[in-house]
């Protein structure tokens, strides 16, 4: 396959759409990992951006080089045959869990923002996702190519409003007291490790389908750069919000204060990000299932959504609060091995 900037941009859009979930779009994740540390948080964001560019690109290029059809095959390459089995089982449950939480989040958007039944949001998301999945890779590219530029534009608009405020520079350079300030040092590594660990379910099969090393490399670079831009823009916006840690959806508070006329676009962006996260996770799970069973996509996707829907009915938040730290530690191992493993396509050249 020849070099293609169009396809590189499509890969970048999928990369961004996969990493940016509902927590990212609402601003809650960014506050927890970065913004509550003030200026130190900005330094952490710059480091995270560098890691997203380098390791995201490397992950996809390595996946294409070894022709990995799923994250399972990729993890065998990184961890070895036996350890990878434990990692892959854990990944399977985490992806199902995240899909369930995202479905629940989609329902919450309909319930809280539109005043409609939660089930309408959940079932509409399932139906739309199945339609996208039936189209395959092109469907995944199409949705992300639409949602991601919208989200980048949205983040930049809010940033422009924020930087024009009179006390912006004071807030940017301010370093608040934090009991757990040491977390600002490890934040770039834990944040990138967690996100790439989950994103590999989508990025590995996408890269293997594209194959061309130049296209994949630049897709990773552009995607990592876009993530850096969104993180930075969101940070510039969030630091202007007093008591930012007390809000579950801090970006909504900022929106009402700075640009209420864009509120419905914000709701659309939130739903779009949840939607891209759902189809990204299901895409990865579908590829994983096909490693074991020769079944049509419609059957595997329906089965995945059935399990995700049933789990979404339970109070899954408590369970995830215990699983996420454990998953973070496992992803740090993934992060270190990915960093250390030589990229054989470079050696071959």
Q: How far apart are the C-alpha atoms of 200 and 76, rounded to whole Å?
A: 13
pTM of the model: 0.79
Structure tokens at 246: 């007390």
Comparison of pLDDT for 253 and 315, the residue scoring more: 253
Torsion over CA: 333, 337, 340, 346 (sign):
negative
Q: How far apart are the C-alpha atoms of 34 and 191, rounded to whole Å?
A: 10
pLDDT for the residue 294: 79
Q: How far apart are the C-alpha atoms of 302 and 294, rounded to whole Å?
A: 15
Give the C-alpha distances (Å, rounded to integers) separating 128 from 11, 32, 236, 266.
Answer: 21, 31, 34, 20
Q: What is the arithmetic mean of pLDDT over 339-346?
A: 73
pLDDT for the residue 40: 92
Q: What is the tens place of the pLDDT at every residue in 121-173?
A: 888 988 888 887 777 667 667 777 777 788 788 888 888 988 888 888 888 88
Torsion over CA: 13, 19, 23, 27 (sign):
negative
3-state secondary structure 93-122: HHHHHHHHHHHHHHHHHHHHHCCCCHHHHH
280, 286, 287, 288: CA torsion to nearest 10:
110
Q: What is the arithmetic mean of pLDDT over 227-255?
A: 82
pLDDT for the residue 157: 87
Q: What is the tens place of the pLDDT at every residue in 65-118?
A: 888 887 888 888 888 888 888 887 877 787 787 788 778 777 877 876 677 887
251, 270, 108, 187: CA torsion to nearest 10:
-60
Inform me whether the pLDDT recorded for 344 exceeds 80: no
pLDDT for the residue 1: 46
Q: What is the tens place of the pLDDT at every residue in 20-31?
A: 765 566 677 788
Q: What is the arithmetic mean of pLDDT over 12-40?
A: 79
Q: What is the tens place of the pLDDT at every residue in 255-269?
A: 777 778 878 877 777
Comparison of pLDDT for 348 and 225, the residue scoring more: 225
Task: Assign 232 a pLDDT band (cuts: 50, 70, 90).
Answer: very high
Contact 335, 197 (CB under 8 A): yes
Q: What is the tens place of the pLDDT at every residue in 270-329?
A: 787 778 778 777 877 887 777 777 788 788 888 888 888 887 776 444 555 555 666 777
Inform me whether the pLDDT recorded for 14 exceeds 90: no
Comparison of pLDDT for 319 and 349, the residue scoring more: 319
């Amino acid at each position: 396959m020849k070099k293609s900037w169009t396809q590189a941009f499509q890969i970048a859009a999928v990369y961004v759409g996969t990493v940016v979930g509902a927590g990212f779009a609402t601003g809650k994740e960014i506050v927890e990992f970065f913004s509550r540390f003030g200026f130190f948080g900005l330094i952490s964001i710059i480091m995270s951006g560098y890691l997203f560019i380098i390791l995201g690109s490397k992950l996809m290029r390595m996946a294409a080089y070894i022709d990995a059809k799923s994250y399972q095959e990729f993890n065998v390459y990184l961890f070895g045959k036996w350890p990878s089995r434990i990692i892959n089982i854990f990944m399977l449950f985490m992806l199902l869990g995240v899909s369930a939480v995202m479905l629940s989040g989609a329902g919450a958007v309909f319930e809280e923002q539109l005043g409609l039944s939660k089930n309408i949001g959940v079932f509409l998301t399932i139906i739309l996702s199945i339609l996208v999945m039936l189209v395959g890779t092109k469907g995944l590219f199409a949705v992300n190519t639409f949602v991601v530029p919208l989200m980048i534009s949205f983040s930049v608009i809010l940033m422009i409003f924020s930087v024009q405020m009179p006390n912006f520079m004071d807030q940017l350079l301010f370093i608040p007291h934090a009991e757990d300030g040491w977390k600002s040092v490890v934040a770039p590594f834990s944040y990138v490790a967690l996100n790439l660990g989950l994103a590999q379910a989508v990025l590995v099969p996408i890269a293997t389908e594209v194959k061309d090393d130049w296209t994949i490399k630049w897709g990773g670079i552009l995607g990592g750069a876009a993530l850096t831009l969104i993180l930075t823009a969101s940070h510039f916006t969030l630091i202007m919000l007093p008591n930012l840690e007390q809000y579950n959806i801090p970006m909504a508070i900022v929106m009402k204060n700075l640009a209420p006329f864009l509120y419905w676009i914000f709701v659309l962006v939130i739903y779009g990000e949840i939607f891209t996260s759902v189809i990204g996770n299901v895409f990865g799970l579908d590829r994983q299932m096909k490693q074991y069973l020769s079944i049509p996509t419609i059957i595997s996707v329906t089965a995945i959504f059935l399990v995700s829907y049933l789990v979404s009915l339970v109070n899954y938040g408590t369970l995830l609060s215990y699983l996420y730290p454990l998953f973070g530690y496992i992803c740090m191992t993934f992060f270190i091995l990915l960093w250390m493993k030589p990229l054989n396509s470079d050696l071959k050249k």
